[in-house]
């Protein structure tokens, strides 16, 4: 029997979390009702290391959703459509998943429930949208929108990665050059300067860096590994995570980009779920978890409480200070006009265009900055080697 992780509100308004074993989400909801708890979010717990999302890309999943929507719209029965998707050879892992879903549907199970059995492939937002489509009788439209949503996510991720390819290549090149300088070039000058009574400080620093990379390379590697492990351990603490999120979100260069990415993910996911008939509170809970930013998740959590109390969505989001004024204004207008789902998707598309400009600006700043860092290090090495040479000429 699967285990579900839940977050709920007690009768006193306190937030409680825990785990419940149940046949499905409905059974968990019934158990929470019996405990007089109001559910906020429910998610099936996945055993670590048993199912990995290996070989299933977001783009491939998006294409599968679009093909499924086309077949359903053309009148192909659900079971036959799943069998056809499960017979493809280009995506063996995804094909096996669709064959499992086809077997479950053949036994009378709903498509959403079959998808919920594979949380390693289908995220909670996808299951919620499919279930809403099944209940509302518009499954083909829901699956089509889901495919468009995932395809937009894949395009955005490709743009981000593509914009960072050149800076990463520049970093690798710079590290290789500096490694050669400190590991091979600098040690060649050490015997020449052994006769000097007083070696300049900058030369001592250069030789120390050379020793750290060459003679004591293993020790340096161990220290760096220990620092990385310690940093990863510290990052799990809530206070450290919050401090890191604050620095990333409000930083001078990357801050606007981080806020824009989180806002775009939240708006697109919330708008897509609302457009597929998912209730507002459930949609906001799922979109909050997919935002990928701790501060924005806290802001959305506050907005959820406000909406539950009967307030509008825009005011609590404005109070967080993480959403741009034009975004808040568009959401407020959408709420007044009753088309907030379409407005949220439009906001996401607008922000993604803005992200393209921000990425271009950040990349243009990173490239000269990396070149300046490499040039400064080379200059320090040159000065550290030239100054002792002048002293050698004086001794002679």
86/99 Cα distance (integer angstroms): 5
Q: Please tell me the predicted confidence (pLDDT) of residue 53.
A: 42
Q: What is the pLDDT of residues 211-259, one digit of tens each?
A: 888 778 788 889 989 998 988 888 778 788 888 888 888 887 678 888 8
**In the predicted structure, residue 395 carries a pLDDT above the cut 70:** no
Least confident piece of the model among 43-57, 142-156, 246-260, 338-352: 43-57
Residues facing 7 on adjacent strands:
17, 41
Residues facing 6 on adjacent strands:
18, 42
**In the predicted structure, residue 50 carries a pLDDT above the cut 70:** no
**In the predicted structure, residue 296 carries a pLDDT above the cut 50:** yes
Q: Please tell me the predicted confidence (pLDDT) of residue 121.
A: 84
**In the predicted structure, residue 52 carries a pLDDT above the cut 70:** no
Residues 327, 262 contacting (CB under 8 angstroms): no
Q: What is the pLDDT of residues 83-129, one digit of tens each?
A: 888 887 777 888 888 888 888 888 888 888 888 888 888 877 788 77
How does DSSP classify residue 213? H
Residues 245, 295 contacting (CB under 8 angstroms): yes
Give the whole-number percent of the chain exceeding pLDDT 90. 1
Q: Please tell me the predicted confidence (pLDDT) of residue 226.
A: 92
309/331 Cα distance (integer angstroms): 18
Q: What is the pLDDT of residues 61-76, one digit of tens each?
A: 888 888 888 888 888 8
Q: Please tell me the predicted confidence (pLDDT) of residue 60.
A: 86
Q: What is the pLDDT of residues 87-100, one digit of tens each?
A: 877 778 888 888 88
> Residue 340 — φ and ψ, nearest 5°?
-65, -30
Predicted TM-score of the model (pTM) = 0.60
Chain mean pLDDT for the chain: 80
287/31 Cα distance (integer angstroms): 25
């Amino acid at each position: 029997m699967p285990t579900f992780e839940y977050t709920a509100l007690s009768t006193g308004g306190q937030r409680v979390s825990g785990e419940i074993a149940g046949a499905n989400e409905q059974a968990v909801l019934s158990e929470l009702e019996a405990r007089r708890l109001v559910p906020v979010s429910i998610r099936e717990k996945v055993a670590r290391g048993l199912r990995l999302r290996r070989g299933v890309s977001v783009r491939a999943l998006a294409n599968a959703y679009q093909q499924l929507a086309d077949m359903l719209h053309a009148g192909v029965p659900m079971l036959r459509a799943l069998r056809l998707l499960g017979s493809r050879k280009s995506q063996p892992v995804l094909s096996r998943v669709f064959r499992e879903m086809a077997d479950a549907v053949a036994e009378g199970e709903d498509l959403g429930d079959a998808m919920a059995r594979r949380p390693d492939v289908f995220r909670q937002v996808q299951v919620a949208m499919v279930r809403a489509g099944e209940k509302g009788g518009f499954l083909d439209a829901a699956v089509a929108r889901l495919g468009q949503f995932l395809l937009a996510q894949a395009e955005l991720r490709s743009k981000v990665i593509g914009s960072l390819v050149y800076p990463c290549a520049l970093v690798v090149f710079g590290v290789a050059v500096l490694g050669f300088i400190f590991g091979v070039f600098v040690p060649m000058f050490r015997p020449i300067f052994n006769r000097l009574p007083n070696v300049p400080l900058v030369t001592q620093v250069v030789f120390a860096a050379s020793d750290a990379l060459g003679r004591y390379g293993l020790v340096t590697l161990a220290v760096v590994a220990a620092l990385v492990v310690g940093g990863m351990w510290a990052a799990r603490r809530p206070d450290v995570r919050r401090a890191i999120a604050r620095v990333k979100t409000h930083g001078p260069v990357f801050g606007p980009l981080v806020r824009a990415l989180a806002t775009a993910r939240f708006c697109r996911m919330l708008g897509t779920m609302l457009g597929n008939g998912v209730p507002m509170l459930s949609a906001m809970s799922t979109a909050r978890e997919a935002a990928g930013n701790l501060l924005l998740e806290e802001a959305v959590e506050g907005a959820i409480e406000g909406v539950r109390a009967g307030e509008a969505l825009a005011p609590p989001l404005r109070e967080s200070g993480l959403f741009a004024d034009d975004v808040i204004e568009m959401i407020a207008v959408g709420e007044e006009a009753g088309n907030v789902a379409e407005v949220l998707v439009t906001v996401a598309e607008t922000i993604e265009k803005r992200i393209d400009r921000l990425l271009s600006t950040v990349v243009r700043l990173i490239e000269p900055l990396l070149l300046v860092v490499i040039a400064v290090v080379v200059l320090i090495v040159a000065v550290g080697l030239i100054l002792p040479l002048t002293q050698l000429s004086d001794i002679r």
